[in-house]
Structure 1
Amino acid sequence: MGLTVGWSAYLAEAFRSAYLAVDQGQLEAALAVGITPRRAFFRIIVPQAALIALSNIENLFIGLVKGTSLVYVLGLYDMYNDASNLSNQTNGIYQLQIFIILALIYWAFVLLIEWGFRTIAHRYQKVLG
């Protein structure tokens, strides 16, 4: 619940700033040619704002993945805690190797997220023209 409230505020700000970045002339032009305000909002403003917000959403999602050690407090799965426990079980002998592997896992997750968002953005830009 805490993560949902906290991260939803950041996400709302990403969408708000993207909405404000879309030129209001787009809405005025749509209204001038007879499109209803609701249809203009959902067909013209929202697609452009979503494309602008995509990079902010990507950064927020990556930040959430990196912040999984905060999730441990809530009792959910945490890779950092598992790495610490493994390091303690081996009396710290393999501590450097364990945390290098952990860093590589996080890096792989972030690269996967970035690839996914780039693919979405690329396809979305094709649709918008």
Structure 2
Amino acid sequence: HLPETLTAPRAALVGDAAHGVHPVAGQGLNLGLKDAAALVQVLVEAARLGEDIGSEAVLERYARWRSVDNIGLAVAADAFVRLFSNDNPLLRVVRGAGLSVVNRIGPARRFFMQEAGGAVGDLPRLLRGEAP
């Protein structure tokens, strides 16, 4: 479940308030950490520029930044749940073959491990170990 907007006057949603991802994907914490780090970075940059950190324009920068990741992961988590909760025999075979192929191809396996760990995409500075 995704809210219509991540911001309201002088407020921003982060974490589970900003996205309800199915827990089977295990990505809620990663998204929440990215949300918090992105909001901190946007607010710090705005403060450095002398902007009102609660203004609609500043908070909208946060919302735009996070919406792509949030929507993408919500769609992926939904597909993941549908794929792995389906007992169709043909789908089970395809699913097993797909997992076997990914497991044998190092770059694909590493990509999915990085994706699952939340270490892909436009990461905020805090999550790259840098100051905001």
Higher fraction of helix: 1
Q: TM-score, normalised by structure 2?
A: 0.39
Q: Using CA pairs below 8 Å that are at least 6 residues apart, which structure has the higher relative contact order?
A: 2
The two structures have a TM-score, normalised by structure 1, of: 0.40
Pair member with larger Rg: 1
